[in-house]
Amino acid sequence: MTVVFIAVYAPVAAELGRDWIHDPNYSHGFLIPVVSAFLVWQERRKLNAAAVRASWWGIAGLLVAAALLVLGAAGAEVFTQRVSLILALASLALLLGGWNRLRILGFPIAFLLFAIPLPYVIYYDLTAPMQALAAHNAIAGLNGLGIPAVAEGNIIHLPGASLEVAEACSGIRSLYAFLALGALLARTLPLPWWGRVAVFLLTIPLSVVGNAIRVWGSGVAAYLGGPRSAEGAPHEIMGLVVFALALGVLYLIGKGARRLWPSGR
């Protein structure tokens, strides 16, 4: 069964790997399977102790996964094929190990979804509004400092310079990364399920605000030092600094949650 699984899904995995290589928005994809494997390794004692009661519901899951794979191949829709891969993994765990082992492996398997790029239709539907949102939030910050600036779509006009909030600056990349980090953090917190969901969802505004601060910082740099001050290395450094600050906020959220619920009550 393992050989059949590898033979069927090897082309899907290979195409996914090519996307990780060529699309910088999803270059983090290489880390996701490594993290997922580490999570499984952490649960090795629970897996060994769990009773193995194979469930035939796994067959039903495999049939659904096969249908998604065929539909995705017929329609040249790679997202459907990749979701089929994750569903097939979960179904195999259910078929061979039963519900007990699937509960243990559920999070590591579901975590693999963060390695799958969004469908292009959804990606472009999100990118344009996020570009405009980042530009308008940055304008508010610039005006708050007394810097005259106006936004025209995703273009920021400053005295003597104009900055474009490009697709790469829309925040999709950081949003995906923060969702993955938020999921890992929420899993470790001694919170009820709704508290973990809340912590996970907090990563969305955190990512949006962080991206707006990065664009705002680029605007300040362009105003003070010219357009080149907001390009190349300074732009990348600004992104790394803001990302580190956002990680710090995420850490404080987790620390605060542990203080409020020290024993998981």
Q: What confidence tens digit (pLDDT) does each residue in 196-221 have?
A: 888 888 888 888 888 888 888 888 88
Highest mean pLDDT (candidates 31-35, 122-126, 238-242): 31-35
Domain assignments of the chain as residue spans, ordered by start: 2-115, 120-260
Q: Is 63 helix (H, G, I), strand (E, B) or coil?
A: helix
Check whether 235 has a pLDDT greater than 70: no
Phi, psi of 156 (to 5 degrees): -105, 120
Q: Taking residues 150-155, what's their average pLDDT?
A: 78
Q: Is the pLDDT of residue 109 over 90?
A: yes
Q: How far apart are CA 111 and CA 39, in angstroms?
A: 10
Beta bridge partners of 122: none
The pLDDT assigned to 227 comes to 67
- For residue 152, list its beta bridge partners: 155
Question: C-alpha angle with apex 237: 233 to 243, nearest 5 degrees?
Answer: 150
Is the distance from CB of 204 to CB of 210 less than 8 angstroms? no
SS3 state at 147 = coil
Q: Is the pLDDT of residue 63 over 90?
A: yes
Q: What is the pLDDT of residues 161-198, one digit of tens each?
A: 777 776 666 677 778 888 898 899 888 888 888 888 88
Q: Mean of the pLDDT values across residues 63-92?
A: 91
Q: How far apart are the first and last CA of the chain?
A: 43
Q: Which percentage of the chain shows pLDDT scores above 70?
A: 93
Q: Are 91 and 54 in contact (CB under 8 A)?
A: no
Mean pLDDT in residue range 107-122:
89
